[in-house]
């Protein structure tokens, strides 16, 4: 008889965004004419930058000709892709070797898959509220979750607690879901903590392109010593609109060693065994997104989402509702008005105004009483959703 991974039974019934989809599907079935406005999952709405489309077309043409056709890619990443990431980091003064850069199908994949190089049953520290995939991937791996709650009092970006030890810690800055950012001082404290505990930081930089306060580091490697204690996981989903196209990258520094083992060597062994990498066409699109021309086009799209975030913040200001985020992140993290729980507010907003958001409690216990809004819808739909949101908030005061 097959022996199963019973850790799956410790998970909540379904993944947060699937639960929301199911609730929305039920609502739609009962109300087929409802004009639903989605500010829930952080899915982009603007098309890919022109530089990416041009690169994809050219790559497709190469695949059509015997002389330029490409078969299996390098599992860890094509040379031109690694060089594009290397040049992107060099602009911020972070020097990477091509061999430290790995391609992926997006941050979500590697945030969980990276657990393969650590032992099972280890302690994973999760700074909450947190992207639910961190917790779920660790539960599936049979790891112990150590929860470190944050709150408005620490700007939802806590310092490490010297009394808490763990094998790994997930840090996401700018943060999903709170939109909070970790200052240089806070990241320095986390690097010092990881060095002292011999832990590894898994730094999720998926939202780095939204940083407008230039004192905030975009990469953990802007902090001295981070190459000896941190892996960085990043994605082009939010930077370049790749939620449907699926490309990300992971950095595992050569200097990073634990128990006499090179984490880079383990990850090379893992990737070359478990994946054949990403397609040539998408790798070309991703390299184009990171080029100066592509990045400028990405930033034009990001400016539209930032304006959407401003519209949501203005709506909350107009009704005196507390929120954080929105400035350096595509997420606005608001307090539920009227003392409602996160799911009560979700239901009220859906049933009364047909607006979909994400309940804060889905990101950890300390998210209870909060609610996340994304800035990724169109300006027109965001403006309409902001109006409806303000109406519901006003009715609760």
Contact footprint for ligand MLT (CB under 6 A): 41-42, 108, 131, 176, 237
Nearer to ligand MLT, 136 or 353 (CB): 136
Q: How far is the CB of 139 from ligand MLT (least distance, A)?
A: 17
How far apart CA 170 and CA 174 sit, in angstroms, is 13
Distance of CA 76 to the CA centre of its chain: 21
Shortest gap between Cβ of 324 and ligand MLT (angstroms)? Answer: 16
Please say which residue, 108 or 306, places its beta carbon nearer to ligand MLT.
108
Residues 6+ apart with CB under 8 A from 373: 39, 312, 331, 332, 334, 357, 358, 385, 389
Of 132 and 160, the one with the shorter C-beta distance to ligand MLT is 132
Query: Cα 353 to the chain's mean position, in Å?
Result: 28
Least distance to ligand MLT, CB of residue 41, Å? 4
Q: At closest approach, how far in Å is the CB of 206 from ligand MLT?
A: 7
Question: How far apart, in whole angstroms, are the C-alpha atoms of residue 257 and residue 228?
Answer: 7
Burial 24-48 (b: 16+ CB within 10 A, else e): beebeeeeeeeebbbbbbbebbeeb
Would you call 347 exposed, middle or buried from its count of C-beta atoms within 10 A (0-12, 13-18, 19+)? middle
- Using Cβ positions, the residue closest to ligand MLT within the complex turns out to be 42
Smallest distance, ligand MLT to C-beta of residue 176, A: 5
Instruction: Kindly provide the b/e burial profile for residues 121-135, where b requires at least 16 CB atoms within 10 angstroms of the residue's own CB.
Output: ebbbbbbbbbbbbbb
Please, what is the angle between helix 342-353 and helix 379-395, to 10°?
110
C-alpha to C-alpha distance for 336 and 180, rounded to whole angstroms: 18
In the complex, least distance from residue 232 CB atom to ligand MLT, rounded to whole angstroms: 16
- Closest approach, Cβ 162 to ligand MLT, in A, equals 30
Would you say 86 or 176 has its CB closer to ligand MLT?
Answer: 176
Tell me whether residue 237 or residue 308 sits nearer to ligand MLT (CB atom). Answer: 237
HSE, side-chain direction, 13 A CA sphere, residue 340: 22
Nearest residue (CB) to ligand MLT, 238 versus 295: 238
Query: How far is Cα 18 from Cα 360, in angstroms, rounded to an integer?
Result: 15
CB of 244 to ligand MLT, least distance (A): 12
Kindly tell me which of 258 and 327 has the beta carbon lying closer to ligand MLT. Answer: 327
Which residue's CB is nearer to ligand MLT, number 86 or number 342? 342
Furthest C-alpha separation in the chain: 68
């Amino acid at each position: 008889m097959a022996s199963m991974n019973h850790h799956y039974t410790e998970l909540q019934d379904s993944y947060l965004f699937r639960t929301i989809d199911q609730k929305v599907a039920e609502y739609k079935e009962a109300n087929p004419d409802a004009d639903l406005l989605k500010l829930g999952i952080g899915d982009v709405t603007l098309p890919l930058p022109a530089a990416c489309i041009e690169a994809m077309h050219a790559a497709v043409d190469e695949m059509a000709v015997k002389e330029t056709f490409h078969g299996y890619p390098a599992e860890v990443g094509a040379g031109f892709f690694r060089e594009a990431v290397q040049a992107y980091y060099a602009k911020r003064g972070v020097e990477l070797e091509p061999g430290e850069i790995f391609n992926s199908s997006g941050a979500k994949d590697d945030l969980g898959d990276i657990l393969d190089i650590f032992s099972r049953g280890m302690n994973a520290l999760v700074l909450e509220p947190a992207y639910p995939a961190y917790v779920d991937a660790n539960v599936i791996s049979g790891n112990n979750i150590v929860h470190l709650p944050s709150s408005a009092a620490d700007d939802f970006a806590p310092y490490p607690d010297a009394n808490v030890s763990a094998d790994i810690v997930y840090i996401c800055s700018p943060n999903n879901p709170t939109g909070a950012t970790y200052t240089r001082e806070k990241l320095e404290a986390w690097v010092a903590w990881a060095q002292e505990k011999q832990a590894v930081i898994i730094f999720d930089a998926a939202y780095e392109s939204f940083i407008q306060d230039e004192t905030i580091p975009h990469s953990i490697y802007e902090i001295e010593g981070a190459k000896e204690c941190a892996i960085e996981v990043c994605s082009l989903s939010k930077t370049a609109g790749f939620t449907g196209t699926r490309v990300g990258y992971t950095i595992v520094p050569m200097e990073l060693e634990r128990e006499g083992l090179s984490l880079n060597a383990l990850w090379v062994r893992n990737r070359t065994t478990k994946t054949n990498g990403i397609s040539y066409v998408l790798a070309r699109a991703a390299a184009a997104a990171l080029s100066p021309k592509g990045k400028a086009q990405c930033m034009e799209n990001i400016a539209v989402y930032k304006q959407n975030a401003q519209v949501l913040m203005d709506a909350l200001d107009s009704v005196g509702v507390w929120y954080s985020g929105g400035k350096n992140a595509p997420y606005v993290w608001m307090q539920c008005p009227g003392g409602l729980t996160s799911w009560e507010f979700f239901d009220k907003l859906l049933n009364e105004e047909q607006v979909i958001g994400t309940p804060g409690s889905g990101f950890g216990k300390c998210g209870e009483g909060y609610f996340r809004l994304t800035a990724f819808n169109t300006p027109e739909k965001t403006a309409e959703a902001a109006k409806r949101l303000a109406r519901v908030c006003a009715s609760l005061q």
